[in-house]
Each structure stands twice: as C-alpha cells, then as structure tokens.
Amino acid sequence: MDGPNVNLKFADLLQMEHAELYGAHLVNVGSCGLHTLHNAVKAGFTMWQMDKLLRALHYLFHNVPARREDFTALTGSTSFPLPLCGHRWIENVPVAERAIQVWPMVRLYVGAVRQKKLPNPSIPHSYDTVEAAQADPLIIAKLQFFLAISRTFSHFLTNYQTDEPFLPFFANDLSELLKSLLWRFVKGELLQDTTPLKLTKIDVADEALQSKPGSRVGELSVLTFRKECMQGLVKIVQKVQEKSPLKIPVVRAIGCLDFTKMKTVVRTMLQDKQLAGGVSAGDVIIQQFQSFLSLEARDEGFLSFQPLKERLDVFLHSALSKSYPELSKFSQSLLLLSHGQAMVERGFSINKEVETCNILEASMEALRLICDKISVCGGLLKVPLTKELMASVASARSRYRIYLEDEQKKKQSATQDLKRKAVQEIEDLKKKRMVLTEVCSSLQTDADELAEQAEGKSGTLMAQLITKSNTLRRRRKEKQNELVQTEKLLETKSNELR
C-alpha cells in the first residue's frame, strides 16, 4: 500500500473487517518503503526550495529554441537543465548533477541579460528565481549536499524495484540507511549497538543529541548553512521514522538468520492466526530451524548465500524442501510478503527513461509495450524476428497514414457535432426568449388591470389590489432582466457560430 493517510485508514478498516469475518488479522508489513523514502527526501529540502530552483532552471530553456540558441552561442555549451520529478525525489540525482554542471554557464547567461547583451526572458517567474539564486554564494554547496543525500537513497531505488522476495533484507538495509544519515549529525555513542526499533525512536530534533562542529566557524553564513543542513537531515530522518516499516515486528524479524528472530516471526504469525496447526506447528518449525542452523546445515552452504547472485526463494527451496518440509512451507508463506509496490515504482522509472517532451499518451503506451517485450525476451538482440513482426514493420507507414486519416475524420465529426449542438442551443434560447417576452407582457397587463381596479375601491380592498399589482410588477422586472441576459447569450452564441 501507499503512504497517504487515506490509504492507511483504509488498511485499518480492512484489517478490522477481516478480523470480524474470519477471526484472523492480515500480516502487516507497513507502507511502501520506496514511497516513504521519496517523501522523506522531499521533506528534507523544503527549507531551500530546491524544487523551485531546479524547475526554474529547466523551464527557462524548455521549448524556447531562440533562448537555447543564445545560451549555446554565448557559452558554447549544448547541455541544458533536466526536468525535475516532483513526486519521485530519489530519481532527481541526474537533475542535480546537470544543474551543477551548467551553473557556471547559467551565471554567464544571467550576466549577459543584465548587461542587455541578450533579450530579457519572457518567463519572468523562472528567470527571477534563477537570478535570485545567483546571489546565494552557497548555492553549489546546497546542490552538492542534495546530491550527497540523494545518492544515499539510490541503493533502494535500484535494488528494491524487483519482484523478487527482498523483504528479508529490507530491515537491515533500511537500518543501515538510517545509521548513515544519523552518523552525520547525531553523537556517535548514541548509535553504538542500536537496534532497528530504537533507530525509529531516536528524537533527532533534540539538540542535546546532536554533535557539534569540531572547529571554530568564522563566517555566519557557513554556520547558517551547516544548521540548515542539519535541519534538513532531521526532517528526512523524522519522515522515515514516521511511517518506517522498521516499526513492524514482522519486517524486523523476517530476516531470521538467528534463532531468536525466527521465534518472533512464529509468535507473530500465531497471534494473527496465520499459522495452520497452532502452537504445535510453531514448535515443529522452530525445532526444524534450530536443526537447520546446526553445524551440519551450515556446511551445506547456508552461509554462502549471496542475494544479488541467487534468489532467496530458490535457495531456501533447494536447502529446505527435502529435509525440513514444515520449515520450507513456512518460509514460502513469509516470502509471499511484498517489500512494497515494486511493479509500480519500476514502471515509473521505466517511464522516466522512455518519455520525451510533448509525447502523446498512445505513444507512451506503445513505448512501454516495446520495453516490456524486450525485457521479457531478455534483451534487444534476443527479440525473435518473426514473419508477423517483419510484416508489421513493412506496413507501419501505411497504418500510420490510415491512423492520421481516422484522426482527421474524428476531428471533422467532432466539429460538426459542436456545430449541431450550437445550433440546438440557439434554437432553445430563441424559444426561451419568446416565452419570457410573453410572460413579461402578461405580467404587465395583469398589473395594470389590478391598478385600475384599485382606483375605484377604498380602504383595505384598495390596499390589497395595489399590493398584488406591485408584486406582479416586481416579477415582471425579474423576468425582464432574465430576458436581457438571454438576448446577450443568444447574440454571443450566434457570433460564435458565424
């Protein structure tokens, strides 16, 4: 599941309903780890408005050939800023790298605009943002700090976009990530022998826990920069801690390479009523695991497992299926638990690689189909060149021409439909105008008659007749205003149709 609170609420409601219907809870492994990390990086750099600067750099030269030509002629550079991804911040490492690369040339460009050697850009918001950043002497340091932190998260973006069972390694990798961030600003003695659960409970906002600079800082701007960096790290760690899967006992214990962790997993599964056979089955699993961790089992190659070279499920099946059937079945249940929305996250990364400017949705779908086919075949050179594929390539141009003709017919049909709709609206407005005219005339006539009748009366009866007459006149005035609006709208529609 994903990170927004509405999804977390939905998960809680689903958990309650499942418990009421079946008497057992679903196994909880927390929210999507990758999504949480993206949001954490985003939260850490709000104080510098890093997204505003990187977007401004891109839009300053985006789809403006004349400005790009001026930039190239002035600086000799053909590299331009890349677009920022506002929802997947770990993928913005290339964006920051390109920004650092072109920043000296951007300074030359802004200087030329100030001296009126080049025309002032017609995008004042983007240009003003870039010009304001020029006055910050630490802007490159801020970009470098953003790069350093983002690269720390890149391991998760590359390794955890797989459908393979990686949840047993998730707690350890996420703990190492948190430690690498905490070592930058938290006192070292507080991180000695810290468990994954304790990492999520450290109050990183407590200044008493934060380390101090070892040397005297002379410049106030540098000291402020260091303080802002620390504040950014605090926000990132707090965001990771807020919805960290490390708070879930199953996630911490599923990397069960020791006896105590396996006991925790079995106990959790028994509490959630997810283990058929109850306590006796749990005892059998623990006994088999204890036997598996004996010296004889280690000699069979258990400790030589390398997750990047061999799938964990394949290894455990080969090691457990024959000698430890109950443990093998239990391991299969654990490995069914997902470490996050790997397919969705991987799809976003593929889209980022294949997308180009001004691409249509149909073209994007076609490119994804091609990428998926190449991936299934195992590489571009392994795609089978069948007769059907060759025939499809040969007729591609004619199909494209037919597609353009069909699109042109659709546009013509849509235009005709709009004209018919406009004509019908005009007819309806004319009928409405006629009805309103008749109503106004009728109300005026009735009001005049009541006023004439009141002239020959006196007392209460005269007052009643005058009141009715005035009421009809007010209604007539309202209808008259509605008639005026209808005539204006009719005139507008008629002009549009011409």
CB 71 within 8 A of CB 38: no
The DSSP call for residue 349 is H
Least trusted range by pLDDT, from 51-60, 179-188, 288-297: 288-297
Chain-centroid distance of CA 416 in Å reads 39
- Which pLDDT tens digit goes with each residue over 22-42? 777 777 777 766 777 888 888
Q: Reduce the DSSP state of residue 210 to 3 states and report it.
A: strand
Q: How confident is the model at residue 290 (pLDDT cuts 50, 70, 90)?
A: low
| The pLDDT value given to residue 18 | 78
Which strand (E) or helix (H) includes residue 43?
helix 33-44
| Nearest-angstrom CA–CA distance, 297 and 324 | 11
| The pLDDT value given to residue 217 | 39
- Which pLDDT tens digit goes with each residue over 409-434? 998 998 888 888 888 888 898 898 89
Is the pLDDT confidence value at 155 over 70? yes
Distances (CA, A) of 149 to 3, 40, 59, 430, 460: 21, 11, 25, 67, 88
| The pLDDT value given to residue 216 | 43
| The pLDDT value given to residue 213 | 54
| Nearest-angstrom CA–CA distance, 41 and 151 | 11
| The pLDDT value given to residue 1 | 41
Higher pLDDT, 376 or 457: 376
Distances (CA, A) of 239 to 190, 233, 369: 20, 10, 36
| The pLDDT value given to residue 405 | 92
- CA trace torsion 423, 427, 430, 431 (10° rounding): -160
Is the pLDDT confidence value at 219 over 70? no
Least trusted range by pLDDT, from 54-63, 333-342, 406-415, 441-450: 333-342
Is the pLDDT confidence value at 450 over 80? yes
CB 55 within 8 A of CB 89: no
- Which pLDDT tens digit goes with each residue over 36-62? 788 888 888 888 888 899 999 998 888
The structure tokens 């801020």 sit at: 142
| The pLDDT value given to residue 208 | 61
Q: How confident is the model at residue 304 (pLDDT cuts 50, 70, 90)?
A: very low
Distances (CA, A) of 354 to 80, 90, 95, 364: 18, 18, 16, 8
- For the chain, the average pLDDT equals 80
Is the pLDDT confidence value at 258 over 90? no
| Nearest-angstrom CA–CA distance, 29 and 250 | 6
**φ, ψ dihedrals at 210, nearest 5°:** -85, 140
At 413, list the tokens.
Answer: 């049909």
CB 93 within 8 A of CB 154: yes
> By CB neighbour count within 10 A (0-12 exposed, 13-18 middle, 19+ buried), where does 311 fall?
middle
Q: How confident is the model at residue 184 (pLDDT cuts 50, 70, 90)?
A: confident
Q: Reduce the DSSP state of residue 186 to 3 states and report it.
A: strand
| The pLDDT value given to residue 298 | 47
Higher pLDDT, 224 or 410: 410
- Which pLDDT tens digit goes with each residue over 473-488? 899 899 899 989 988 8
Please report, rounded to a whole number, the percentage of residues in the chain having pLDDT higher than 90: 7
Closest CA to 60 of 90, 36, 37, 80: 80
Closest CA to 266 of 246, 295, 280, 286: 286
Q: How confident is the model at residue 256 (pLDDT cuts 50, 70, 90)?
A: low
Distances (CA, A) of 388 to 383, 384, 392: 13, 10, 6
| The pLDDT value given to residue 72 | 92
Q: What share of the chain is helix, strand, coil (3-state, %, to 5)?
A: 75, 0, 25
| The pLDDT value given to residue 326 | 79
Number of C-beta neighbours around residue 28 at 10 A? 19
Segment 215-234 shows an average pLDDT of 72
| The pLDDT value given to residue 451 | 84
